[in-house]
Amino acid sequence: MSTLTIVTATDLPAPAGHYSYAVAYGGLLYISGQLGRSQDMTDEVAGDASVQTRRALSAIITIARSAGSDIFRLLKVNVYVTDVALWPAVNAEYAAIFGVHRPARAVIPVNPLHYGALVEIDAIAAMGSD
């Protein structure tokens, strides 16, 4: 029987709300949505869509590593954007970070995101070694 494990990320500040950075269960890691703001949330201007995508994916990767997974074990990524016109910048940054790895992905237009963010990303990753 699988055990549910709450994942913390010591390289990131504690979550600001009532949630965990990730939950591991049954060999999978469910990573909560990460905004494209600075990790300490002190930035008044969160940056453009490229900057926010880079920051959100960096947090996703940090969380995955904290749980013993990594970028190449990301199976499914949901990218929430406040305007589909931002997609070229988001996709370019996404492709630069992932390189040859191409997890399944959904792009979901939403409005608005918390704190005025332009981008939020969540993910599901595999745990353990192959």
Round to whole Å and give the CA distance between 31 and 125.
Answer: 8
Both tokens assigned to 27: 């060999």
Q: How much is the pLDDT for 42?
A: 66
pLDDT at 66 over 70: yes
Round to whole Å and give the CA distance between 29 and 120.
Answer: 18
Read off the pLDDT band of 128 (50, 70, 90). Answer: confident
Residue 76 near residue 37, CB atoms below 8 Å: no
Structural domains in the chain, sorted by start: 5-126 (3.30.1330.40)
pLDDT at 65 over 80: yes
Q: Are strands 74-81 and 104-109 parallel, antiparallel or unpaired?
A: parallel
pLDDT digits (tens, 9 = 90+) for 88-107: 999 999 999 999 999 999 99
pLDDT at 72 over 90: yes
Q: How much is the pLDDT for 20?
A: 95
The strand pairing partners of 105, in sequence order, are 77
Residue type, 54: R
Round to whole Å and give the CA distance between 23 and 124.
Answer: 10
Q: Is 86 helix (H, G, I), strand (E, B) or coil?
A: helix
Q: In the chain, count of helices (H) and strands (E)?
A: 2, 6
pLDDT digits (tens, 9 = 90+) for 17-48: 899 999 999 999 999 999 987 666 666 556 89
Round to whole Å and give the CA distance between 46 and 119.
Answer: 10
- pTM for the complete prediction? 0.92
